Structure 1
Amino acid sequence: MDKRESMWDVYLRKGMSRRSFVKSCVALTSLMGLSTDQVSKVVEAAEKKPLPVVVWIHGHECTGCDEAFIRSGSPLASDLVLSQIALEYDHLLSAASGEPFEAHLEETINKYKGQYILCVEGAVCTKDSGVYCMSGGKPFIETLQHAAHNAAAVIAYGTCAVSGGIQAAKPNPTGSAGIAHFAGKTPVINVPGCPPIPEVMTGVVMHVALFGTVPPLDNEGRPKQFYGNRIHDTCYRRPFFDAGMFAEHFDDEGAKAGWCLYKLGCRGPETYNSCGNLRWFQGMSYPIQSGAPCIGCSNAHFWDEDPMTTRMPEYGPLGNVDKIGAAMAVGTAAGVAVHGAMSVVQKQKREAEEHNEE
């Protein structure tokens, strides 16, 4: 990439209207979790900032994160790759391969040292000098350290990159681990999930691309706008939990009626993600909506939950979930009694007022 165009330059070159450009900026503002008063800043950045150079490398993984990424609906992955970032290297999305492709990676790292965004998908293998995951004829751990050292920021896409994923499940024969400890002093943004939600992936990279800064992160390095709530907090089945109404089996009447899946192993109360907000396939559904409990795929070591359908021992500070239902039932009964008593008082008062008027 010799000339670095801005997003607006690309729109002009392709003959696209200003209206389309502004609409894209508005959509990006919403996707990044920003308020509407930030639209002007997004437009300004998209007009002036050169398209960010992105290097995307793959470690020990299944390519599921890339597969999720290309299914992004807002923005479309094709729009992001062709108009909003400059993707210089990616095993899955690049047509090139072999020695010339690896030479291009080295050329990109040297040419844009300290400027490019490094996206990493997959765990790093540490056992036996990393020979269980080779990339370009070298252990992936070497490629990762070299690319991360010269990057402006690193985005760890998927639970494998964040905490090792399925490769790190017991007994972890390859010594797989998350990438953060191998990125040196370069800031790392963790985007866990197996895979992450497509729009979360595009939202994070566009935040770094447009503003040149890391988005606000929580204490585990996750973007707050996407990992600020638990699945439990945004679940449409939450009223059933609060009422103590749980499915006991996958085929019982409670399951068919859409009751809470907590007793079937749902990890929603301890899992932070945006599944309940953004959902999948452009907002169509997510696992809980499909009748499957959350398995906590954005949590470290979730693969070691065996079996995954075993219920959590207790629910946070409230203790045993069975007691929650009983307490809710008592509270509901008390509330009904109070409401009934108040209704009688209001009726007697109204009748007395009518009698006095007569």
Structure 2
Amino acid sequence: MDADDKNTIGDYLRSQGISRRAFLKLCAAMASALALPPGAALAMAETLPQKRRPSVIYMSYQECTGCLESLTRSFTPTLEYLMFNVMSLDYDDTLQAAAGFQAEAAREAAMKANWGKYLMIVDGAIPDGNNGYCTAAGKSALQSIQDVAKGAAAVVAVGTCASFGGLPMANPNPTRATMVSDIVTDKPVINVPGCPPIPVVITGTLAHFLTFGRLPDLDHLKRPIAFYGNTIHDRCYRRPFYDRGEFAKTFDDEGARNGWCLYELGCKGPTTYNACATTKWNAGTSFPIESGHGCIGCSEPNFWDRGDLYKPLSAGLWHGSIGADLGAAAVAGIAIGGLAAATARHRQSKITEKK
């Protein structure tokens, strides 16, 4: 750890020539991304500069590096900003320059110096049935995650593999891949699922913890409600077509070209909780449904084992009676949408008559 780590975040920002105006803009962007009240941006600006840059240790297991690739593409805030101004990324075997014994020594030194205070990020499922997978420095994946988690203040499971097991845990699961929360049971765990997660959802979650020193509000699956509080269907720009019963039948028919709902082509938006439709990808440019492909439900548990990605939910694709329930919900949604539209037209006609 360098000398700057002994100073506050405010000291470091000033040493880098970052103005208060620029810092306030970043705080406002973070507060907006996290759906925090207006006063939260000012609270961030007042409290964050007084804190020391917290140590972060990033551990990788059964994963494809897609989640880390996604993290590097965040734009509000950027990974570079977090790394150099807000946190001290003391271990990441993909990004760090050190390797072998030097890398392990850096991790152990960071753990010792920040015991009980560092934030642990886990990327990938944990293979607890085969010690040959993800072994590093002579330690199995199970050993290393348990050792590092002991001294962590909290653990962030980044990606669906870490959060819910993802593809590694899919049937027949030869490595007995396991989600982080099944192994780390004595520390707070935050799940940030997605295959991969949206970049700003990852950095926004990290920024919340690093700023306030506590977990954001979580749902029953330990996901931040700010990002996973609504289904993609709730905020989808194709929702009006769903309400009117206008569905694309193939990916290249007239309905698809006109932006009609992709529900009948297997879109899992109605049962998938994520911020794709609002935060979007590539600096807010687009998301899969906007690009013409239905949601595959990648931020939900067991999405790999739930069947054909292109079968509509009403075909009973998802376990239990949810398929039939969703079929009824679709009809109800169309009826309610039509009733709402008719009511709005009636209200507008009354206003016009008065004029």
- Picking from 82, 93, 107, the partner of 1:80 is 82
1:253 maps to 254
Partners of 1:53 and 1:221 in 2: CA distance: 22
1:215 maps to 216
Q: Secondary structure at the match of 1:288?
A: coil
Task: Please list the CA deviations of residues 144-172 of structure 1 after superposition, one character each: whole Å capped at 9, or x if unmatched.
Answer: 11111110000000000011111111111
1:47 maps to 49
Is 1:167 equivalent to 2:168 in the alignment? yes
1:64 maps to 66
- Picking from 82, 96, 99, the partner of 1:97 is 99
Q: Which amino acid aligns with 1:118?
A: M
Q: Is the 8 A contact 2:157 2:192 kept in 1?
A: yes
- Picking from 1, 16, 19, the partner of 2:21 is 19
Q: Residues 120 and 208 of structure 1: is their aligned pair in 2 closer, same or farther, counting only changes over 3 Å?
A: same
Q: Secondary structure at the match of 1:153?
A: strand
1:355 maps to none
Q: How many residues align?
A: 344
Partners of 2:349 and 2:90 in 1: CA distance: 70
2:194 maps to 193
Partners of 1:331 and 1:37 in 2: CA distance: 39
* Structure of larger gyration radius: 1
Q: Secondary structure at the match of 2:175?
A: coil
Q: Residues 239 and 10 of structure 1: is their aligned pair in 2 closer, same or farther, counting only changes over 3 Å?
A: same
Alignment RMSD: 2.5
Q: Is the 8 A contact 1:244 1:329 kept in 2?
A: no
2:327 maps to 319
1:353 maps to none
Task: Please list the CA deviations of residues 188-214 of structure 1 after superposition, one character each: whole Å capped at 9, or x if unmatched.
Answer: 001000010100100111111111111
Is 1:287 equivalent to 2:295 in the alignment? no
Task: Please list the CA deviations of residues 163-186 of structure 1 after superposition, one character each: whole Å capped at 9, or x if unmatched.
Answer: 111111111111111011211311
- Picking from 126, 129, 138, the partner of 2:128 is 126
2:300 maps to 299
Name stretches of at least 5 consecutive residues in structure 2 with no aligned partner: 315-321
1:241 maps to 242
Report sequence identity in percent: 42
Q: Residues 175 and 43 of structure 1: is their aligned pair in 2 closer, same or farther, counting only changes over 3 Å?
A: same
Q: Residues 22 and 329 of structure 1: is their aligned pair in 2 closer, same or farther, counting only changes over 3 Å?
A: closer
Task: State the 1:26 CA deviation.
Answer: 2.0
Q: Is the 8 A contact 1:208 1:214 kept in 2?
A: yes
TM-score normalized with structure 2 length:
0.90
Q: Which amino acid aligns with 1:135?
A: A
Greater Cα shift, 53-62 or 99-108: 99-108
2:11 maps to 9
1:308 maps to 309
2:119 maps to 117
TM-score normalized with structure 1 length:
0.89
Task: State the 1:42 CA deviation.
Answer: 0.4
Q: Is the 8 A contact 2:192 2:224 kept in 1?
A: yes
Partners of 2:51 and 2:13 in 1: CA distance: 14
Partners of 1:254 and 1:215 in 2: CA distance: 40
